[in-house]
């Protein structure tokens, strides 16, 4: 399945590369959204076209339509494109990131399941692009047979990006994720690693191990969140 979807996405990329730079005639709706008029019978994918140059708008819209036809959720792809625009990166780089995230979404869905919510798929795709392997995604999903794995995936991604080896990060996150009401403990792990990672990966790993021992033994770690409404830190976009 992944091979067929990848082939469709690759074909879309090749067609875009071979298309004239000016692309089809574009009309602009009252709200400023650019709408391609080459295929008026097809409902175009909606996004804030004013954030991109005209060539990127055409490339992005065409790619998103192909992704939608393949059952790939386009919300995360639009978000990646908008993040790139906010950072003022080139249209070429934006399309590279969008394509990579589309492939990662497909791979994450194969592991996490076809009925996985979009937020969880997005977290899984972000983890894969950060260097987390498919085995780790499967382990996270298995640690949460019921309920969302979004927060465990976000925490895993963040602490790996902060220098914790992937295997140790996976073991810590899956161990805590199996505990009752573990989301707050996972957020505490993320904060603990983040505070200590500034002193080097070794300090981050030491802090992780101390936090894990305290959490599993039932003790309250000194750096655990003091409130129950703290949101997890979103890992940086690869």
Structure tokens at 22: 């000016």
Tell me, what's the pLDDT at 47? 84
| DSSP codes, 79-90 | HHHHHHHHTT--
Distance CA 26, CA 49 (A): 11
pLDDT in tens, the chain (238 residues): 555 555 555 544 444 444 433 333 333 444 443 333 333 333 456 788 999 999 999 999 999 999 999 999 999 999 999 999 999 999 999 999 999 999 999 999 999 999 999 999 999 999 999 999 999 999 999 999 888 999 999 999 999 999 999 999 999 999 999 998 899 999 999 999 999 999 999 999 999 999 999 998 754 444 444 334 445 556 655 5
Locate tokens 């009309």: which residue?
Answer: 27
Tell me, what's the pLDDT at 146? 87
Distance CA 58, CA 62 (A): 6
Distance CA 238, CA 164 (A): 16
Task: Enumerate the H helices of the chain as residue ranges.
Answer: 2-18, 54-69, 75-86, 91-112, 118-129, 134-143, 150-161, 166-177, 183-197, 201-216
Three-state DSSP state, 27: strand
- Backbone torsions φ then ψ of 26, nearest 5 degrees: -115, 130
- Backbone torsions φ then ψ of 121, nearest 5 degrees: -60, -40
Tell me, what's the pLDDT at 79? 93
Tell me, what's the pLDDT at 8? 53
CA distances from 224 to 3, 72, 136, 151 (A): 43, 37, 24, 16
Tell me, what's the pLDDT at 216? 84
């Amino acid at each position: 399945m992944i091979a067929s979807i990848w082939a469709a996405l690759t074909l879309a990329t090749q067609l875009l590369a071979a298309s004239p730079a000016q692309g089809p005639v574009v009309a602009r709706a009252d709200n400023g959204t650019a709408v391609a008029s080459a295929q008026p019978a097809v409902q175009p994918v909606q996004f804030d076209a004013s954030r991109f140059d005209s060539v990127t708008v055409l490339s992005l819209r065409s790619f998103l339509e192909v992704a939608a036809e393949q059952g790939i959720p386009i919300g995360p792809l639009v978000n990646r494109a908008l993040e790139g625009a906010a950072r003022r990166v080139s249209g070429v780089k934006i399309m590279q990131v969008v394509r990579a995230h589309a492939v990662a979404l497909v791979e994450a869905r194969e592991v996490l399941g076809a009925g996985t919510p979009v937020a969880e798929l997005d977290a899984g795709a972000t983890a894969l692009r950060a260097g987390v392997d498919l085995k780790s995604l499967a382990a996270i999903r298995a640690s949460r047979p019921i309920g969302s794995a979004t927060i465990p995936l976000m925490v895993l991604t963040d602490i790996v990006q902060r220098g914790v080896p992937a295997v140790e990060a996976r073991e810590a996150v899956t161990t805590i994720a199996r505990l009752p009401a573990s989301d707050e403990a996972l957020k505490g792990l993320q904060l603990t690693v983040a505070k200590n990672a500034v002193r080097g990966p070794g300090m981050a790993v030491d802090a992780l191990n101390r936090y894990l021992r305290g959490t599993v033994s039932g003790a309250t770690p000194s750096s655990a969140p003091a409130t129950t409404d703290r949101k997890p830190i979103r890992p940086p976009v690869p």
